[in-house]
């Protein structure tokens, strides 16, 4: 299965971002801590044209804490400040305005030296669909001002939102890119809910998920689903399907003749992965493939 999803409003969103850049002091790039590279839009570097940037690894409560530390170190080596947060509970969210302001300290100091009273920092928040931008904005603003949802494509337009007295944020719709050169990226995005399920084959996505999780977090999969034996060979499709069928049997996904409804079982696997019911899982290791 080839995974692609680039609705027309995403082209419009890119154009709007480019038009607003002259007003922006700092960019807050929001990514998914479970798939830090796959959830970064490769077009962003070109779009942002060297603006100061803070990388925010959201949903860190769902990610492997040790892997998140490695990703923080990875981005530091690339020359980027980064922070891991959980926008759903507010963990470390209040540090974001402080770090964003630190990135502009030299510019702010020059204004002070010239006798200019610095205005509120203007930040642009960008990220792929369903990475938690609106939830983060609501946390920062201290009120429900941005529409939220557990599906991609909730935010449709742009709006300025005040964060205290020292920051204003420009919210934007999530933007994917026209073509995934690496289909593994598409599968990771599909697994974590960044792509609408209506355009996916859930069995293919769940197959990839079982491979990815069983290879690195088998004890967590075994505990959640009660599956007794891991795949003997992750490259053996029959072995991966065997695990999916066992999960289906454990959850009662049966049809005539005692056969397993793989589509139903696949939906369960993906929903529970996305909800964090398998524990803290990172699907992409720093500087290496899953």
Q: What is the pLDDT of residues 231-241, one digit of tens each?
A: 999 999 999 99
Asked if 67 and 282 touch (Cβ cutoff 8 Å), the reply is yes
Tell me whether domains 8-171 and 201-274 share a fold.
no
- Domain ranges within the chain, ordered by starting residue: 8-171, 201-274
The sign of the CA dihedral 36, 274, 189, 235 is positive
Specify the pLDDT at position 15.
74
Please, what is the average pLDDT of the chain? Answer: 86
Q: Which CATH code fits 201-274? A: 1.10.1580.10
Please tell me whether 131 is known to bind a ligand: yes
3-class SS of residue 273: helix
* Of 61, 207, 201, the residue nearest 135 (C-alpha): 61
76: left (phi over 0), alpha (psi -120 to 50) or beta: alpha
The CA distance from 273 to 113, in Å, is 52
**Residue 174 assigned as binding residue:** yes
Residue 133 is assigned to a ligand binding site:
yes
Cβ atoms of residues 49 and 24 within 8 Å: no
Averaged pLDDT, 100-128: 89
Token pair for residue 288? Answer: 């290496």
Q: What percent of the chain has pLDDT over 90?
A: 56
Q: Which CATH architecture has domain 8-171?
A: 3-Layer(aba) Sandwich (3.40)
Alpha-carbon distance 225 to 217, whole Å? 13
Residue 134 marked as a ligand binder: yes
SS3 label, residue 79? coil
* More confident position, 180 or 111: 111
**Cα 82 from Cα 222, distance rounded (Å):** 33
44, 72 in Cβ contact below 8 A?
no
> What size, in residues, is the chain?
290
**Residue 132 marked ligand-binding:** yes
Which pLDDT band holds residue 43 (cuts at 50, 70, 90)? confident
- 14: tokens are 């890119």
**135 known member of a binding site:** yes
Q: pLDDT class for 180, splitting at 50, 70, 90?
A: low
């Amino acid at each position: 299965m080839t995974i692609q999803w680039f609705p027309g409003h995403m082209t419009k969103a890119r154009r709007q971002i480019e038009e607003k850049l002259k007003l922006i002091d700092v960019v807050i790039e929001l990514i998914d801590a479970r798939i830090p590279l796959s959830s970064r839009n490769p077009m962003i570097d070109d779009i942002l044209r060297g603006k100061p940037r803070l990388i925010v690894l959201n949903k860190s409560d769902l990610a492997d804490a040790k892997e998140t530390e490695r990703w923080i170190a990875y981005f530091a080596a690339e020359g980027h400040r980064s922070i891991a947060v959980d926008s759903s509970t507010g963990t470390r969210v209040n540090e974001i305005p402080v770090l964003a302001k630190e990135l502009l300290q030299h510019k702010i100091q020059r204004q002070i030296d010239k006798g200019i009273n610095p205005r509120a920092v203007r930040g642009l928040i960008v990220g792929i669909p369903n990475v938690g931008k609106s939830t983060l904005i609501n946390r920062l603003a201290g009120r429900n001002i941005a529409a939220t949802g557990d599906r991609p494509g909730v935010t449709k337009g742009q709006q300025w939102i005040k964060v205290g007295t020292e920051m204003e944020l420009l919210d934007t719709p999530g933007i994917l890119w026209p073509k995934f050169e690496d289909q593994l990226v598409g599968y990771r995005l599909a697994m974590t809910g960044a792509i609408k399920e209506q355009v996916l084959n859930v069995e293919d996505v769940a197959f990839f998920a079982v491979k990815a999780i069983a290879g690195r977090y088998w004890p967590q999969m075994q505990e959640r689903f009660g599956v007794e034996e891991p795949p003997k060979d992750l490259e053996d499709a029959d072995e991966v399907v065997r695990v999916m069928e066992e999960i289906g049997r454990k959850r009662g996904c049966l049809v005539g003749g005692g056969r397993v409804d793989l589509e139903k079982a696949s939906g369960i696997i993906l929903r529970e992965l996305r909800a964090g019911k398998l524990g803290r899982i990172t699907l992409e290791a720093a500087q290496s493939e899953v």
